[in-house]
Amino acid sequence: MTKNIISTDLAPAAVGTYSQGVELNGTFYFSGQIGLDPKTGVLAEGFGPQLRQTLSNIDGLLKSQDLKRSNIIKTSIFLTDLANFSQVNEAYTAFFEAPYPARSCIEASALPKGAVVEIEVIAAR
């Protein structure tokens, strides 16, 4: 088994003991992204800006591996308030094209760095 560790400056550096992602046999397991600006490390303020930055960070991870949004097969979304779920659906409509990837979404009591949204994705070639 050969796994490749993903490291890029197109997304925020890991804030703990984990990799930005791991590729194994053409499947990419990306760590959860929050609304940190990869250049400054500053967390965007408010749900909308954090969601947009989170999606931008996902784009950075994909780009680093020559992948597109259409390569995403599964997302897991963590929100500190499920009342924001409708905003996630709106963002999904702009970010993805049908057919949409599989998705799960849960409410979490807290997220790293005080974030209000975190999204992790699995992609495949």
Q: Is 24 tagged catalytic?
A: no
Number of domains present in the structure of the chain: 1
Pairing mode, strands 72-79 and 102-107? parallel
Q: Do residues 79 and 119 touch, judged by C-beta distance below 8 A?
A: no
pLDDT (tens place) for every residue of the chain, 125 residues total:
889 999 999 999 987 899 999 999 999 999 999 999 999 999 999 999 999 999 999 999 999 999 999 999 999 999 999 999 999 999 999 999 999 999 999 999 999 999 999 999 999 99
Give the range of the structural domain holding residue 98, as residue numbers without chain letter.
Answer: 3-124
Helix axes of 47-64 and 85-95: crossing angle, nearest 10 degrees:
40
- Residue 108 and residue 112: Cα distance in Å, rounded? 11
Distance between CA atoms of residues 107 and 94, nearest Å = 22
CATH of residue 89: 3.30.1330.40
Task: Name the active-site residue from 105, 108, 111, 122.
Answer: 105
- Total-model pTM: 0.96
